[in-house]
């Protein structure tokens, strides 16, 4: 049964109703409800909001609080990010502390790397997989940017500090003038003293049992512990991952406003820019793409993992099955699922009571501590491998899916392949990733070859439109970059109609090829639209990646313009008529000549006939078309030709 809805009542509620030939649309602020035609009526589907949907808005506000490691509300407001009104119980439990003392003003440094603070924490009762039980924090005084090192022993600390100092010199051209450290023996070696003395670095040590004298690194260390404690309390991740989680906490802290530098963000000062696109909720379920070792389409294409950190070119992921840590950039996340379901390792993250304020894992006495996992090397590539369960695991029975769900499982496995390609969303993102710069250069070379534009002055009263780059990874892994015009910015009205082939015509032509045993050829025209000439003036702003400084007048039909499909179709039609072909009056994209048929779908052509070589050579010469041979995939269909039959998948 349907409920009748009054158009007038919809208007009174603040919505507009637009009637079109294909149906109606109810439009309001940030909402469009399609109403397709059903007989002589228009109908719209509505669904009752459940509690889950009602709470989704508040959950979206809370997602940045989680991504930034339980960042406080004032800092979120400073960054102009959504702030939830919910009280976070995890913050209450994990960040409880004593009231602060009145701060004392101290002179600040004047440049990045001028003044460093370093401190060591630990030992932690549960070692990492690499047997690390200490952590070292190095803080830049000017930007408050912090770095975390994991140590097997305190003797490694001075080497880390010397490595950090060398990095400061490479980035800034100057050595630090001062370093403040605790009074431990790890920074007292003759080698380290000589290193600092030869570079004019003054070393400052705190008095024993007076951590307040190294307040900057102590405060950062406490904040990192708070964040780490909250993450473990929230996600229930195994405690031997504390090193990865702490480094992730440092990554979050460096991208959060700091009151020590008047609300500024450390990473923005340290690097000169800030990018939050990479942030994800620690502990989120993540599916990492696996490069297939064979062409069997039924092999697993993704490995379920948990996101635990960041790397320079991707994410650090933990595989619960093999207990390995892998690095991958092709990852799909479910940030709503960040609680690890294994409940056998429920321990409490707490602080020790000694003066070093070390971190400990207190395991209840009634529980049995699990054996320390053997060190496993971190896999450096983004190609995780599926591994079997370790010896001693309890064998699990393989559960067989019901027959009615097996096809669905294969479908979702295949769909994961297409979801796992994470294409760049902007030019800045693309040039920072491997392979995309070459794709951009190829596109710009095509623009120059077709004489796509000419430098010009913008006439009075005219408007230059913008452009943008669109990036796509094809199913075979090929990277494709395309420069498109922002056609929606163009003013004025121009005829933009362009015919599109009917899928029924394509199937008819395929059937004829099978019935008459005719060869088929699939041709692709690269940058097809650039073959079309514009019939009116269009001006664009200099595209990203080019050296132009002035306005450009388009000579060719650039992708994105409303008239580009029509210009290309007009150019192709004129060519086919000159080759002696006739156009079908039933489908304007179908051409025929004697025993050869050709159907055009934007920049793809299907040619059927034994005497097709002449038109194929002409298309290759005129449009630089690529002959892909007998079609394997066409218009989203996978074709499999067997003797007198053709199978579509």
CB 479 within 8 A of CB 443: no
Give the pLDDT mean for 138-163: 93
Give the 3-state secondary structure of residue 406: helix
Domains of the chain by residue range:
7-46, 90-96+109-280+345-379, 284-337+380-388+401-422, 427-648
Could you tell me which residues come within 8 angstroms of residue 570 by beta carbon, excluding any fewer than 6 positions away? 532
Q: What is the pLDDT of residues 348-357, one digit of tens each?
A: 344 332 333 3
Strongest mean pLDDT among 72-76, 365-369, 455-459, 473-477: 455-459
Grade residue 406 by pLDDT with cuts at 50, 70 and 90. Answer: very low
The residue among 489 and 193 whose pLDDT is bigger is 193
CB 125 within 8 A of CB 359: no
Distance CA 338, CA 350 (A): 21
**Which position has the token pair 């009917």?**
502
Rounded percentage of the chain residues whose pLDDT exceeds 70: 77
Distance CA 482, CA 468 (A): 8
Give the 3-state secondary structure of residue 96: coil
75 phi and psi, to 5 degrees?
-70, -35
Q: Is 395's pLDDT higher than 60? A: no
Q: Which residues pair with 522 in a beta bridge?
A: 606
Grade residue 228 by pLDDT with cuts at 50, 70 and 90. Answer: very high
CATH class for the domain made up of 90-96+109-280+345-379: alpha beta
Q: What is the pLDDT of residues 537-552, one digit of tens each?
A: 899 999 998 888 889 9
Q: Which residues pair with 135 in a beta bridge?
A: 121, 150
Burial label for 249, CB within 10 Å (0-12, 13-18, 19+), is buried
pTM greater than 0.75: no
Q: How far is CA 141 from CA 106, 198, 199, 206, 436, in A?
A: 11, 22, 19, 16, 37
Grade residue 268 by pLDDT with cuts at 50, 70 and 90. Answer: very high
Which DSSP helix (H) or strand (E) runs through 623? helix 613-623
Q: How far is CA 371 from CA 127, 241, 286, in A?
A: 11, 14, 26
Q: Which two tokens mark 109?
A: 């440094």
322 phi and psi, to 5 degrees?
-95, -10
Q: What is the pLDDT of residues 125-144, one digit of tens each?
A: 899 999 999 999 999 999 99
Of residues 221, 242, 216, the one with CA closest to residue 231: 242
Grade residue 489 by pLDDT with cuts at 50, 70 and 90. Answer: confident
Q: Is 385's pLDDT higher than 60? A: no
**Average pLDDT score over the chain:** 79
Grade residue 96 by pLDDT with cuts at 50, 70 and 90. Answer: low
Q: Is 295's pLDDT higher than 80? A: no
**Among the listed ranges 90-99, 134-143, 522-531, 538-547, which one has the minimum average pLDDT value?**
90-99
Checking 575-583 for CB contacts under 8 A at 24+ apart, the result is 575/618, 575/622, 575/623, 579/615, 579/618, 581/615
Checking 427-432 for CB contacts under 8 A at 24+ apart, the result is 427/468, 427/469, 427/544, 427/545, 429/277, 430/469, 430/471, 430/481, 431/545
pLDDT value at position 402? 53
Report how far Cα 80 is from the mean position of its chain's Cα atoms: 21
**Among the listed ranges 29-38, 252-261, 425-434, 458-467, which one has the minimum average pLDDT value?**
29-38
The Cβ of residue 616 has, within 10 Å, a number of other Cβ atoms equal to 17
Q: How far is CA 562 from CA 362, 485, 491, 635, in A?
A: 66, 9, 11, 22
Q: How far is CA 194 from CA 83, 101, 139, 199, 206, in A?
A: 50, 37, 22, 9, 20
C-alpha torsion sign, points 227, 233, 238, 240: positive
Strongest mean pLDDT among 73-82, 257-266, 359-368, 425-434: 257-266
DSSP code string of 335-380: TT--S----S---EEEE--STT--EEEE--TTSPPPPPPPP-PPB-
Give the pLDDT mean for 200-225: 81
């Amino acid at each position: 049964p349907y409920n009748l809805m009054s158009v007038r009542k919809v208007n009174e509620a603040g919505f507009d109703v637009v009637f079109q030939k294909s149906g109606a649309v109810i439009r309001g602020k940030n909402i469009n409800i399609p109403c397709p035609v059903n007989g002589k009526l228009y109908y719209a589907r509505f669904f009752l909001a459940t509690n889950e949907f009602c709470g989704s808005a508040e959950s979206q506000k809370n997602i940045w609080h989680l991504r930034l490691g339980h960042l406080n509300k004032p800092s979120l407001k400073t960054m102009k990010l959504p702030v939830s009104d919910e009280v976070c119980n995890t913050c209450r439990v994990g960040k409880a502390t004593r009231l602060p003392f009145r701060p004392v003003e101290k002179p600040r440094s004047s440049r990045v790397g001028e003044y460093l603070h370093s401190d060591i924490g630990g030992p932690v009762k549960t070692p990492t997989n690499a047997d690390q039980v200490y952590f070292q924090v190095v803080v830049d005084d000017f930007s408050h940017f912090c770095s975390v090192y994991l140590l097997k022993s305190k003797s490694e600390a001075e080497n880390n500090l010397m490595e950090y100092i060398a990095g400061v010199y490479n980035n800034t051209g100057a050595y630090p003038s001062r370093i403040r450290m605790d009074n431990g023996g790890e920074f007292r070696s003759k080698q380290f003293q000589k290193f600092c003395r030869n570079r004019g670095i003054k070393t400052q040590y705190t008095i024993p049992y007076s951590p307040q004298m190294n307040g900057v690194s102590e405060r950062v260390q406490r904040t990192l512990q708070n964040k780490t404690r909250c993450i473990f309390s929230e996600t229930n991740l195994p405690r031997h991952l504390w090193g990865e989680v702490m480094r992730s906490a440092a990554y979050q802290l460096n991208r959060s406003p700091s009151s020590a530098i008047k609300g500024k963000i450390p990473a923005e000062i340290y690097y000169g820019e800030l990018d939050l696109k990479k942030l994800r909720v620690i502990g989120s379920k993540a599916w990492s793409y696996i490069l297939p070792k064979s062409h069997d389409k039924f092999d697993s294409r993704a490995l379920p993992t948990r996101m635990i950190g960041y790397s320079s070119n991707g994410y650090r992921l933990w595989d619960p099955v093999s207990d390995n840590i892998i690095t991958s950039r092709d990852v799909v996340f479910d940030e709503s699922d960040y609680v690890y379901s294994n409940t056998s390792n429920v321990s409490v993250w707490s602080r020790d009571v000694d003066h070093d304020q070390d971190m400990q894992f207190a395991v209840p006495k009634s529980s049995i501590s699990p054996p320390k996992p053997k060190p496993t090397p971190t896999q450096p590539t983004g190609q995780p491998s599926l591994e079997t369960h370790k010896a001693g695991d309890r064998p699990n029975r393989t559960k067989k899916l019901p027959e009615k769900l097996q096809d669905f499982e294969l479908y979702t496995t295949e769909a994961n392949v297409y979801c796992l390609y994470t294409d760049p969303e902007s030019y800045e993102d693309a040039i920072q990733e491997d392979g995309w710069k070459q794709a951009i250069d190829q596109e710009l070379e095509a623009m120059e070859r077709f004489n796509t534009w000419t430098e010009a002055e913008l006439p009075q009263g005219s408007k230059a439109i913008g452009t943008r780059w669109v990036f796509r990874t094809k199913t075979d892994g090929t990277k494709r970059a395309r420069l498109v015009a922002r056609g929606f910015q163009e003013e004025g009205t121009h005829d933009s109609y362009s015919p599109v082939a009917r899928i029924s015509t394509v199937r008819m032509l395929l059937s004829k090829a099978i019935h008459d045993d005719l060869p088929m050829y699939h041709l692709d025209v690269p940058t097809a639209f650039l073959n079309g000439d514009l019939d009116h003036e269009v001006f664009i702003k200099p595209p990203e990646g080019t050296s132009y400084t002035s306005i450009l007048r388009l000579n060719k039909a650039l992708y994105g313009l409303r008239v580009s499909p029509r210009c290309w179709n007009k150019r192709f039609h004129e060519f086919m008529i000159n080759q002696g072909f006739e156009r079908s009056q039933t489908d304007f994209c179908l051409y025929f000549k004697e025993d050869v048929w050709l159907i055009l779908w934007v920049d793809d052509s299907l040619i059927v006939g034994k005497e097709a070589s002449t038109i194929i050579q002409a298309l290759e010469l005129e449009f630089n078309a690529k002959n892909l041979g007998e079609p394997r995939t066409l218009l989203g269909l996978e074709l499999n030709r067997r003797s007198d039959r053709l199978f579509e998948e």
